[in-house]
Amino acid sequence: MSTDVVIGIDLGGTRIRAARLSADLKILQRIETLTLDGEGLDAVINRIVQQAQAVWPTYARVIGIGVSAPGPVDPIAGVLTTPPNLKGWHNVPLAKLLQDRLGAPAYLGNDANLAALAEHAMGAAKGYKHAVYITVSTGIGGGVIIDGHMFVGAHGLAAELGHVIMGIDGDRTVDWEYMASGTALARQAQAALEKGEDSLLMQMCDSIDAVNAKMVGAAAQAGDKLALRLVTRVGQVLGMGLVSILHTFDPEIVVMGGGVAKGTWPLIIDPMWDAIKKHCMDSAYWETLKIVQPILGEDVSLVGAGALALGKGS
> For a second copy, which stretch binds (CB under 8 A), given 11-19, 59-67, 166-174, 201-209?
166-174
How far apart CA 314 and CA 298 sit, in angstroms, is 24
State yes or no: residue 166 binds a second copy (CB under 8 A).
yes
Is 164 or 208 the residue whose CB approaches a second copy more closely? 164
Strands (E), 85-163: 106-110, 131-136, 140-146, 149-150
Among 252, 262, 290, 293, binds a second copy (CB under 8 A): 252
What mask of x and - would describe binding to a second copy in positions 184 to 213, judged by CB under 8 A? ------------------------------
- Which residues, 18 to 77, sit near a second copy by CB under 8 A? 72, 74
Is 165 or 210 the residue whose CB approaches a second copy more closely? 165
Q: What DSSP designation does 209 have?
A: G
Cis peptide before 93, with omega less than 30 degrees from 0? Answer: no
Number of Cβ within 10 Å of residue 300's Cβ equals 26
> For a second copy, which stretch binds (CB under 8 A), given 30-38, 186-194, 203-211, 233-241?
233-241
Q: Compute, in degrees rounded to 10, the torsion defined by CA atoms 140, 145, 149, 150.
A: -10
Distance of CA 272 to the CA centre of its chain: 19
Is 148 or 297 the residue whose CB approaches a second copy more closely? 148
Which residues are CB-neighbours of 84 under 8 A, at least 6 positions away? 70
State yes or no: residue 101 binds a second copy (CB under 8 A).
no
- Which residues, 260 to 279, sit near a second copy by CB under 8 A? 275, 278-279
Task: Classify strands 140-146 and 79-80 as parallel, antiparallel or unpaired.
Answer: unpaired
Is 48 or 245 the residue whose CB approaches a second copy more closely? 245
Is 8 or 83 the residue whose CB approaches a second copy more closely? 83
CA neighbours within 13 Å on the CB side: how many for 251?
29
State yes or no: residue 182 binds a second copy (CB under 8 A).
no
Please give the size of the binding site for a second copy, defined by CB under 8 A. Answer: 48
- Which residues, 106 to 165, sit near a second copy by CB under 8 A? 129-130, 146, 151-161, 163-165
Q: In angstroms, what is the minimal distance from the CB of 237 to a second copy?
A: 7
Rounded to the nearest 10 degrees, the angle between the axes of helix 182-194 and helix 213-221 is: 70
Closest to 263 in 3D by CA, of 141, 120, 137, 170: 137
How far apart CA 311 and CA 66 sit, in angstroms, is 9
Which residues are CB-neighbours of 236 under 8 A, at least 6 positions away? 271, 272, 274, 275
Among 37, 206, 282, 298, binds a second copy (CB under 8 A): 282
Among 88, 148, 167, 311, binds a second copy (CB under 8 A): 167
Contact residues for a second copy (CB under 8 A)?
Answer: 72, 74, 81-82, 129-130, 146, 151-161, 163-168, 171, 173, 179, 236-237, 240-241, 243-244, 246-252, 275, 278-279, 281-282, 284-285, 288
